[in-house]
Structure 1
Amino acid sequence: MHRLGLIRRFTAALAASTAIAVVFAGHATAEPTAIDWNVATQKLRAAASGNPAAEQAVDRLLASGHIATQVALPPQPFQYPAQSDIGRGAGPGVYGSGIALGLDGFRLGFFGGPGTIAPNQDGARLEVLWINLSNGRSGTEALYEHEDAPMDTTIRTRALDTGGGLVVAAVYGSLRHRSPVPVSDANPDGFQYQLGTISVPSFGAIYN
């Protein structure tokens, strides 16, 4: 019962975010609070120090030239979606977006890509690097919470103790997806599986 209620609350949050912004169109609607891009990205890069995967992800973000000028509020999607080797399933390109969720604690998540999120994530690892610019707290978290149900469209971190203030974050790594196909010898369970690997992280600035 608790899990079903949790899924419903996350679904409501995503429905609200869809009404607020078009995820893949660029900037999400946000509070009119400016962010200093140079400060934000340099501090995010410093928070990645000692973690090669996170360092490389932020370096790719910096090379992309993305500049976030506004701050969002949960449950809005990140201002910039990720790019990946499979995109939305038709080749490299726009893939999906990070999202901040403020229910049952502050969580960071991801949604998008082809089909749905596969229940088995063996061989994949999706992570988010974050730093709270207001208090200096930072961390790297795995995104692993997902229910195998049609209404659950995100994969999420545990509840995070970032403290209040301005949080910037980048989602990177890989994620398994599945799409329904006719049952065959190649697809005995009626699904086709794909592994998406992020080339440019999804970046967001969120006020918690």
Structure 2
Amino acid sequence: MHRVRSIRLAAAAAASALLMLTGVGHATAERESVDWSSAMRHLRAAAADNPAALAAVDRLIASNQQLAMQKAALPAQPFQIPAQSDIGRGGGPGVYGSGIALGVDGFRLGFFGGPGTIAPNQTGAKMEVVWYNLSNGRSATDLLYEHNDVPVDTTIRTRVLDTGPGMVVAAVYGSLWHRWSVPVSEANPDGFQYQLGTISIPSFGAVYN
């Protein structure tokens, strides 16, 4: 039963990524602005006890990016500001991927992007998200760890989160292993090339639960 739910969640995530890339999405309401200063102040406070999270939020603040909120409906809401990393999408430093909110089997936060696919073994990497609910003041830092090694699963995700209803601001940061198929060789005995991506500027979003 758990496997079926996971595959369903993965399929929804893959569909949302495709919708984002093609510019087609769920029904949306009028665009809203988010108070960047207030959101960053709350997110920084939520990260205060986690040095890695705090450093990531400070890098995001220093980047001085602003977002225009567009209300969307679950089950999938990509973050408005993509992440930057040392490997980008495989062609050198640059745009890397995006955070995403998912609501198929409960509200989760995740990430998709980078070169190739997400490697099933994440030893030595650690991807996290710090979030704050602007509507009720709840906050936390959570690990992104759930991923199924199947073609439809394009994301790595948190556990189900109890953020409560309302607008949630979140930043995804850390590192992630990717892999893609290459000819089997002494250097690549399993037929895969692996690369570690490290986020320099987090993916940031304001999403509705």
Is the TM-score greater than 0.5? yes
Query: How far off is 1:11 after superposition?
Result: 1.2
SS of match in other structure, 2:41: helix
Question: Does the 8 Å contact 1:89/1:113 carry over to 2?
Answer: yes
SS of match in other structure, 1:4: helix
1:125-154 Cα shifts (integer Å, max 9, x gaps): 000000001100000000000011111110
1:99-130 Cα shifts (integer Å, max 9, x gaps): 00011000000000010100000000000000
Which residue does the alignment assign to 1:134?
Answer: 135
Question: Does the 8 Å contact 1:35/1:71 carry over to 2?
Answer: no
Relative to structure 1, the CA distance from residue 76 to residue 60 in structure 2 (aligned partners, 3 Å threshold; closer, same or farther) is same
> In structure 1, how many angstroms separate the alpha carbons of the residues matched to 2:50 and 2:27?
32
The answer to whether residue 28 in structure 2 is matched with residue 36 in structure 1 is: no
Query: How far off is 1:29 after superposition?
Result: 8.7
Relative to structure 1, the CA distance from residue 98 to residue 159 in structure 2 (aligned partners, 3 Å threshold; closer, same or farther) is same
The answer to whether residue 167 in structure 2 is matched with residue 166 in structure 1 is: yes
Question: Does the 8 Å contact 1:54/1:129 carry over to 2?
Answer: yes
SS of match in other structure, 1:76: strand
> In structure 1, how many angstroms separate the alpha carbons of the residues matched to 2:178 and 2:152?
15
Which residue does the alignment assign to 1:81?
Answer: 82
Which residue does the alignment assign to 1:145?
Answer: 146
> In structure 2, how many angstroms separate the alpha carbons of the residues matched to 1:110 and 1:118?
13
The residue identity in structure 1 corresponding to 2:44 is R
After superposition, residues 69-148 of structure 1 pair within 5 angstroms as 69-73=68-72, 74=74, 75-148=76-149
Paired-residue identity, %:
67
1:136-181 Cα shifts (integer Å, max 9, x gaps): 0000000000011111110000000000001000000000011110
Q: Number of aligned pairs? A: 204
Query: How far off is 1:50 after superposition?
Result: 2.0
Backbone CA RMSD of aligned residues: 1.9
Which residue does the alignment assign to 1:202?
Answer: 203
Which residue does the alignment assign to 1:10?
Answer: 10
The answer to whether residue 46 in structure 2 is matched with residue 60 in structure 1 is: no
> In structure 1, how many angstroms separate the alpha carbons of the residues matched to 2:4 and 2:80?
29
The answer to whether residue 157 in structure 2 is matched with residue 156 in structure 1 is: yes
> In structure 1, how many angstroms separate the alpha carbons of the residues matched to 2:33 and 2:18?
23
Relative to structure 1, the CA distance from residue 13 to residue 186 in structure 2 (aligned partners, 3 Å threshold; closer, same or farther) is closer
Question: Does the 8 Å contact 2:177/2:197 carry over to 1?
Answer: yes
The residue identity in structure 2 corresponding to 1:38 is S
Consecutive unaligned residues in structure 2, runs of 5 or more: none
> In structure 1, how many angstroms separate the alpha carbons of the residues matched to 2:121 and 2:168?
30
Query: How far off is 1:30 after superposition?
Result: 5.1
> In structure 2, how many angstroms separate the alpha carbons of the residues matched to 1:10 and 1:191?
22
1:169-198 Cα shifts (integer Å, max 9, x gaps): 000000001111000000000000000000
1:58-112 Cα shifts (integer Å, max 9, x gaps): 0110111111221443312100110000011111010010000011000000000
